[in-house]
Structure 1
Amino acid sequence: MSQSNATPTADLAQFTEALLHEAKKAGADGADAIAVEGTSASIDVLKGALEHAESSEGVEIGLRVLIGQKQACVSASDTRSSTIAEMAQRAVAMAKEAPIDPHIGLATPEQLAKEWDIEALDMNDPSTPPSPEMLQELAQRAEAAALNVQGVSQVQATSAGYGNRRIHLATSNGFTGGYARTGYSLSTVAISGSGADMERDYYGDGRTYFADLESPEHIGQIAGQRAVDRIGARQPKTGFFPVLFEERISGTLIGHLLGAINGSAIVRGGSFLRDKLGEQVLPKGLSLLEDPHRARVSGSRPFDGEGLRTRKRAIIDDGILTGWTLDLANGRALGMESTASASRGTSSPPSPSAGNVTLTQGKSTQAELLAEMGTGLLVTSLIGSSINANTGDYSRGASGYWVENGELKFPVNECTIAGNLTEMLLDIQPANDARTHLSRVVPSILLSGMTIAGG
């Protein structure tokens, strides 16, 4: 057998096949079924001792049935044959009472993925998962490294975790396929100072392969140093100044853009970019690319939640918005083809969602952008949110560092930054510091001006 149809979820296929069989038997015109098996473990330590341990494992199954232009979804964590039969009967009864939706429906056989290369995506670490004892040791080492930074008064939390998730999807018109993915994480939150003068910061890492995870010592040291660097934080000036979004939070700006071009938002008319298709939404020279086939990246997948083969696409090409993010139903509502962007859970119908995205990186380092901005604010953390999805009006609490003459002068907290996302996106200037192993590859971003409300 070629790699194209190799699947690590053959055992889960029996559940999807049974669900489809019972759906047809119960009177469904069409159906799709999903089976998900998950295994996870997480360990929290505090003051060198185990604070919390959690593990879970199990299988969940989901069924969507279609009766004409009506649909219903049901799910269960019980995989007995009697339960599967009851699910199908209940789903068909629910669908008969559901409202008509002229846009729902399965993909045509021609649209369905026929082959894919699971091994090329490299989503599943074949090594033995870490034991709870190993996870605890990793967390303890990260905590110790943070406490070893001079000026750190305590560590608020340190967590280590592992997860393995296997998914199998099948449709009544011929699609069947599955994949597995693993994930490992380690993070710590350090605190400097005491009482009203306490400041905190964090650092963490998440990877598909355990061997790629950054060392606990590195994670703890960075978290600790970041917390110490925030000692003496105060409010900045109020006014209109340049703002530089640090790489670890700059992806939130692109997240707002992705939300605004989501097909469901466009169909509802609730997007500040609803009239911008084919127009410039980023500066010329910048593109936003989606690639669901990047190896060892958490957002990769060979097919979407409706069985369509995923593919690379330029969401924004040289600053121009080329299209929406669509599943089948929202695509039909807009008279467009699906972008193979359907996401699917066991208890809900498909909905569009963008996966791995990469923003064009710039040529300047973060330090060079700081020098260019002169006086302004480097934002390293965001809290709260007041964002109008219809108008793009943006306001968020922020903390970071005040910059004068291109140099960091003092840490900042308790301030608000405000602007309009349409204008902000057209103003972005990227640095060259994006971490390329992330699903969302976005470098630090400089904006020429935002309203800052401080002291």
Structure 2
Amino acid sequence: MTKEEKYNLAKWAMQFALDHGADEASIILSQSKSSNVDVREQKIDTLKEAIQSSLSVRLFVDNKYSAHRTNRLDKKELAHFIEQAIAGTKYLSPDPFRSLPDAGLYYQGGNQDLGTVDQSYDTIDPKTKVDLAFQVEQEAYKKDDRIISITAGYGDNTSSRLMVTSNGFEGETANSSFSLYASVSVDGGDARPSEAWSERAIFFDQLKKSDIGTTALDRALKKIGQAKISSGKLTMLVENKTVSRLFSPLMAALNGYNIQQKNSFLIDQIGKQVASEKLSLTDDPLVAGGMGSRLFDGEGLASKKRQVFDRGILGTYFIDTYYAKKLAVEPTTGETSNLIFETGDKDLAGLITGIKKGILVTGFNGGNTNGSTGDYSYGIDGFLIENGEIIQPVSEMNISGNMKELWMSLVEVGNDANLTSSWQTPSMVFEGVDFSGS
């Protein structure tokens, strides 16, 4: 379907909804392609390819709201689908806070290229994808007698989203991603430690294609001999790809839904010190080549760079149109994009060297955070550090405390931002964390 054909279909669906009882309408036409290859024991375990197209319609009818989606794009079937959706919406309860955004807040165009899609996506042949998956497996295959199993794989995806609204928005965005990954489990005596490693990129040519299986195997072998250590307050160093598990509750507390529902421990904290001075980051949707880059969000609101934390001082919430109206504030956006952290000057090895006694956390096993209070408890895997050196692997230990206190205890940030994610988290050091073990 050409760009013109997509716009014509979306506009036709929007006008049909208006002509048949909707006061306002938003139409999103989505298309995606993906492929996945998993290999085990030098054989293909899974091979999938998918192509999907769908149309979503958001309806505002007599102060009532509903959202619907279909993959049947024939106009005759769409007409029946929209009529039924409007009829169903009329049975819902009124909600005076539901409406399309203020048109003045929409992205106004400009065709800026943010570098989020690889135009060569369709030129990559299936054999190359399969070969890469086998290459990752081969890096670890039979490299150690203690290996129990290896799973390796390749994945890719490209998608586009075109949106039109009845109050004037028109926009289209596209993204692509490529990934390679490996998971290895080994015989560790009474335990069977396992570890995984992955690489991801927007462009195929920029995807790191080596040392993935090797890294997963090395990480799994290092976990052999895991044991509990004595409970106590220790320094905690969290690896960059793992930090997001602790950072997610902090970001969830900034979400408009949680604030409106009183399920946030950061209500009424804009402009206040809520974290250590070591925490500074921006949400930058306009950075070129970012995993989360976009010109507009899911509502069509124009993307803007925002300071989330400035030396621990909270600068913004993430609030969409609906919850902005409920909270009587201006909308920002309901979604994060690229979270860019102010980093320090040490890599992970440098951070380890500076710790007298602590634990390097490389993974979390279960646990949760209470959204309203910030109290948390998580199981962890990692390594004991003494006098700047890794001593032994640890497991079956828990950390517990309060998120507000934890983020106030941040004392150092690494220079190793995780560029394979839209949340570019670096490794982080926290002081005085409660660990419970033996």
Normalising by the smaller structure, the TM-score range is over 0.9
**Kindly tell me: are residues 154 and 212 of structure 1, through their superposed partners in 2, closer, same or farther at Cα, counting changes over 3 Å?**
farther
1:162 pairs with one of 133, 156, 159 = 156
2: CA distance between counterparts of 1:315 and 1:116? 26
User: What is the aligned partner in structure 2 of residue 435 from structure 1?
Assistant: 418
User: What is the aligned partner in structure 2 of residue 355 from structure 1?
Assistant: 337
User: Contact (CA 8 Å) 1:18, 1:84: kept in 2 or not?
Assistant: no
2: CA distance between counterparts of 1:155 and 1:295? 39
Mean Cα displacement is larger for which, 45-54 or 293-302? 293-302
Mean Cα displacement is larger for which, 230-239 or 402-411? 230-239
2: CA distance between counterparts of 1:294 and 1:236? 43
User: What is the aligned partner in structure 2 of residue 348 from structure 1?
Assistant: none
Mean Cα displacement is larger for which, 396-405 or 81-90? 81-90
CA shift for structure 1 position 437: 5.1
2: CA distance between counterparts of 1:34 and 1:445? 39
Q: Is 1:404 matched up with 2:386?
A: yes
**For residues 131-170 of structure 1, what are the structure 2 equivalents within 5 Å?**
131-147=125-141, 149-150=143-144, 153-170=147-164
**Kindly tell me: are residues 183 and 235 of structure 1, through their superposed partners in 2, closer, same or farther at Cα, counting changes over 3 Å?**
same
2: CA distance between counterparts of 1:288 and 1:103? 31
User: Contact (CA 8 Å) 1:15, 1:61: kept in 2 or not?
Assistant: no
User: What is the aligned partner in structure 1 of residue 167 from structure 2?
Assistant: 173
Unaligned runs of 5+ in 1: 1-6, 342-351
TM-score for both structures, normalised by structure 2: 0.95
1:386 pairs with one of 344, 368, 371 = 368
User: Secondary structure of 1:92's match?
Assistant: helix
Q: After superposition, what is the alpha-carbon deviation per residue over 1:277-323, rounded to whole angstroms, capped at 9, x for unaligned?
A: 22111222532200111222221111111111111010122321122
**Counterpart residue identity of residue 402, structure 1:** L
2: CA distance between counterparts of 1:325 and 1:152? 47
Number of aligned pairs? 436
**Counterpart residue identity of residue 193, structure 1:** D
User: What is the aligned partner in structure 2 of residue 344 from structure 1?
Assistant: none
User: What is the aligned partner in structure 1 of residue 41 from structure 2?
Assistant: 47
User: Contact (CA 8 Å) 2:140, 2:150: kept in 1 or not?
Assistant: no
User: Contact (CA 8 Å) 2:188, 2:224: kept in 1 or not?
Assistant: no
**Kindly tell me: are residues 389 and 444 of structure 1, through their superposed partners in 2, closer, same or farther at Cα, counting changes over 3 Å?**
same
User: Secondary structure of 2:241's match?
Assistant: helix
Q: Is 1:449 matched up with 2:428?
A: no
User: What is the aligned partner in structure 1 of residue 77 from structure 2?
Assistant: 83
User: What is the aligned partner in structure 2 of residue 423 from structure 1?
Assistant: 405
**Counterpart residue identity of residue 239, structure 2:** E
TM-score for both structures, normalised by structure 1: 0.91
Mean Cα displacement is larger for which, 8-17 or 177-186? 8-17
User: Contact (CA 8 Å) 2:146, 2:188: kept in 1 or not?
Assistant: no
Unaligned runs of 5+ in 2: none
User: Contact (CA 8 Å) 2:241, 2:418: kept in 1 or not?
Assistant: no
Q: Is 1:333 matched up with 2:340?
A: no
2: CA distance between counterparts of 1:414 and 1:132? 42
**For residues 52-451 of structure 1, what are the structure 2 equivalents within 5 Å?**
52-119=46-113, 121-129=114-122, 130-147=124-141, 149-150=143-144, 153-193=147-187, 196-215=190-209, 217-284=210-277, 286-339=279-332, 341=333, 352-428=334-410, 429-436=412-419, 438-451=421-434
Q: After superposition, what is the alpha-carbon deviation per residue over 1:61-97, rounded to whole angstroms, capped at 9, x for unaligned?
A: 1101112321111111100112211222122222222
Mean Cα displacement is larger for which, 442-451 or 121-130? 121-130
What is the percent sequence identity of the aligned residues?
28
User: Contact (CA 8 Å) 1:146, 1:155: kept in 2 or not?
Assistant: no
User: Secondary structure of 2:316's match?
Assistant: coil
**Kindly tell me: are residues 208 and 152 of structure 1, through their superposed partners in 2, closer, same or farther at Cα, counting changes over 3 Å?**
farther
1: CA distance between counterparts of 2:43 and 2:278? 51
CA shift for structure 1 position 140: 0.7
2: CA distance between counterparts of 1:434 and 1:61? 37
User: Secondary structure of 1:332's match?
Assistant: helix
**Counterpart residue identity of residue 131, structure 1:** D
2: CA distance between counterparts of 1:437 and 1:249? 12
**Counterpart residue identity of residue 273, structure 1:** L
User: Secondary structure of 2:354's match?
Assistant: helix
User: What is the aligned partner in structure 2 of residue 27 from structure 1?
Assistant: 21
CA shift for structure 1 position 412: 1.1
CA shift for structure 1 position 124: 1.0
